[in-house]
A and B are shown apart, each in its own frame.
Chain A
């Protein structure tokens, strides 16, 4: 009965190979997702510059700029919203890369959304546009209790957006990404609870509310 001790080092080599391959595959997957986000950001950046330029162009040269500008704004809104969801999904699946690797992208998207919100306010005023800005304030890193609350409100707003389409301009803004403008907005609207919904820049709904209450508040603002 010979003791086969060689299996210990052979198993160690197999483990090292399998583990390294697994980690490399994981890194590759995560890095490609981050690269993907960064590439898409570049496209969005160009699209946003284009949309802003169109607004400027129409304001200076064409007095009937409203329809096109509103349409561009809405398209951009949808695009930024989808990108935000994708970042969130990728971030949850990224385990090996630095936790803050996507922070820069998230900050830039948050700034886009604020800029876009301000543009929406401007267009609504200038063009007497028929949409309502619904700004949804949330935390990027919520606690275990806050997270399901945020998800509930997020799903309600998504459903209402699907129902009312372009009558609603849905703008989610994270409060905890250390952005000076966001801090100013927080102070201006006295936002201390998450989630908070700001409808038509006037009506503020804090914490959770029923879908009917939120829908009624939006209808009132329309």
Chain B
């Protein structure tokens, strides 16, 4: 057996295992995925922190969305943390009389949130990004999740895509939908490894005890979630609490955002690598850290295998056509293709089938009804083009991470 065949089969085994876990979790918990509680009894007080930096286009929408939340007004305080914006963000924020606006020198999102935690008066802290729009009942659903278990220290929400006009937005709609769905499944093994910015709520006491957000990490929301898990606490995901976020519409911005995510992920893994395989750190040690590591390894190995197999064939075909043209014998005929199936074909088709089942379930459960035709087309682009970009971004992130280079927010 060739080395590349062994590598391919290894990637296949790990992929089948990961998808089996997700599918088992789905079938076991399918009736509980969208459970929520809208009770208004014994609601705790919440401080909503909105860190902003040059968000003049979106801040008003976000503040309006937060003001319209279906939650007792006497139990929430809204604090906009203006992180040294140089545009009209502060002026727009101050036009809302119901909220507090704190202006401070620019020091980054994590530091702004830590500042907010220190001045917040309430029992719970809701971190909200400045380009997000919440469904009215989102906070109520999230807060009620804390009542299920006193060891739940953070609850996060389903982040959906607001701007879906362009292809990149449509692709990210699928991606965000599947991410939310997968994150919910991970909750059943206490492995929600990120509390994303659009809406995540924490117990203030826990944030204080853990020392708040890590201002040196580029994805402070991933790092904090890892620290919560490291201390054997639980994080819950409320799939029915929906928040709509504005995603990048330009490829360069998308790439930049993903670099930041990947570098932040690597920083987080590097900080918590001591937990790898250790049961005393709960699911972080035995599952989240290995899962995170294996995802990156899989992406890289998958890319190498694909590059070797597909890249080799492409080079060979280009050279073939080059020689064919030079010898005046240009031939492109179907009969010359080798269509004899191999083990690569069997497992490749199997994996595509498993993945199709997985994403079809995901999309159908998140948005019940028939998947529209345009989304089926986007799905194909997502599967066969968009996902290929992941390892490419990761390779550059690895380089930047090891060269100790950071990128701006």
| Contact status A209-B2, CB under 8 Å | no
Stretch of B21-29, B160-168, B246-254, B257-265 that contacts chain A: B21-29
Known: A19-B12, A19-B13, A156-B329. A11 touches B319 (CB 8 A): no
Residue of B nearest to A86 (CB): B340
**CB–CB A159/B17 < 8 A:** no
For B74, list chain A residues within 8 Å (CB).
none
B16: Cβ under 8 A from any A Cβ: yes
Q: Tell whether A7 pairs with B336 under 8 Å between CB atoms, given A26-B342, A144-B316.
A: no
Chain A interface residue number, banded: 35 or more
Q: Which residues of A contact B151 (CB under 8 A)?
A: 1
Determine the chain B residues whose CB is within 8 A of the CB of A93 once the complex forms. Answer: 338, 340-342, 345
B367 part of interface (Cβ distance < 8 Å)? no
Question: For B328, what are the chain A residues with a Cβ–Cβ distance below 8 Å?
Answer: 210-212
A22 at the interface (CB under 8 A from B): yes
Within 8 Å by CB of B320, from A19, A95, A99, A148, lies A148
B350 lies within 8 A of A3 (CB): no
The answer to whether B326 and A208 have CB atoms under 8 Å apart is: yes
A103 at the interface (CB under 8 A from B): no
Shortest C-beta distance, B162 to chain A (Å), equals 30
Instruction: Tell me the nearest residue of chain A to B236, going by C-beta.
Output: A1
Contact B234 A152 (CB under 8 A): no
**A-B residue pair count with CB separations less than 8 angstroms:** 129
Report whether A155 and B336 are in contact in the complex, using a CB–CB cutoff of 8 Å.
yes
Would you call B323 and A148 a contact (CB within 8 A)? Answer: yes
A residues in contact with B234, CB < 8 Å:
1
Residues of chain A contacted by B17 (CB below 8 angstroms) = 11-12, 15
Beyond A14-B20, A96-B343, whether A7 also contacts B25 by CB under 8 A is yes
The smallest beta-carbon distance between B388 and chain A, in angstroms, is: 22
Are B329's CB and A159's CB within 8 A? yes
Main secondary structure of the interface of A (DSSP, over half): helix
A213 CA / B329 CA spacing, docked (Å)? 11
Instruction: Contact check, A149 vs B323: say whether CB atoms are below 8 A apart.
Output: yes
List, in ascending order, chain A residues with CB within 8 A of B2's CB: 95, 99
> In the complex, A5→B12 CA distance in Å?
22
User: A7-23 CB contact bits vs B (8 Å, 1 = yes)?
Assistant: 11011101100110011
User: Would you call B5 and A96 a contact (CB within 8 A)?
Assistant: yes
Q: Are B329 and A3 in contact (CB under 8 A)?
A: no
Contacts of A159 in B (CB 8 A): 329, 331
Q: Contact: A4 with B5, CB < 8 Å?
A: no
- Please tell me if the beta carbons of A7 and B343 are within 8 angstroms of each other in the complex: no
Determine how close the nearest CB of chain A comes to the CB of B34; give it in whole angstroms: 16
CA distance A140 to B34 in the complex (A): 59
In Å, the complex CA distance between A30 and B342 comes to 8
Q: Determine the residue in chain B with the shortest Cβ distance to A10.
A: B24
Identify which of residues 130-172 in chain A touch chain B, using a CB-to-CB cut-off of 8 Å. Answer: 144-145, 147-149, 151-153, 155-156, 159
Check if B20 sits within 8 Å of A15, measured CB to CB. Answer: yes
Provided the pairs A11-B21, A14-B20 are in contact, do residues A22 and B319 lie with their beta carbons within 8 angstroms?
no
A90 nearest in chain B by CB position: B340
Contact in complex: A92, B323 (CB < 8 Å): no
Residue A119 lies at the interface, judged by CB distance under 8 Å to chain B: no
Chain A residues with CB under 8 Å of B67's CB are none
A210 near B16 with CB under 8 A, answer no
Contact indicator A8/B21 (Cβ below 8 Å) = yes
In the assembled complex, the CB of A127 is this many whole angstroms from the nearest CB of chain B, namely: 32
A25 within 8 A of B: yes
Residue on B with the closest CB to A2?
A: B188
Q: How far is the CA of A41 from the CA of B331 in the complex (A)?
A: 31
Does A94 reach chain B (CB closer than 8 Å)? yes
User: Does A156 lie within 8 Å of B149, measured CB to CB?
Assistant: no
Whether A211 pairs with B13 at a CB distance below 8 angstroms is no
A contacts, CB < 8 Å to B: 1, 3-5, 7-8, 10-12, 14-15, 18-19, 22-23, 25-26, 29-30, 33, 89-90, 92-96, 99, 144-145, 147-149, 151-153, 155-156, 159, 208-212
Interface residues of B (CB under 8 A from A): 1-2, 5, 9, 12-13, 16-17, 20-21, 24-25, 28-29, 148-149, 151-152, 187-190, 234, 236, 283, 287, 312, 315-317, 319-320, 322-324, 326-329, 331, 336, 338, 340-347, 350
28 A–B contacts from the bound complex (CB under 8 Å):
A1-B148, A1-B149, A1-B187, A1-B190, A1-B234, A3-B188, A4-B29, A4-B188, A7-B28, A11-B24, A15-B13, A19-B9, A22-B343, A22-B346, A26-B346, A90-B340, A92-B342, A93-B340, A93-B345, A94-B342, A95-B343, A95-B344, A144-B312, A148-B317, A155-B331, A156-B329, A209-B327, A212-B328
Top 8 A-B residue pairs of the complex, sorted by shortest distance between their CB atoms: A26-B343, A148-B319, A11-B20, A93-B340, A152-B323, A148-B320, A93-B342, A211-B329
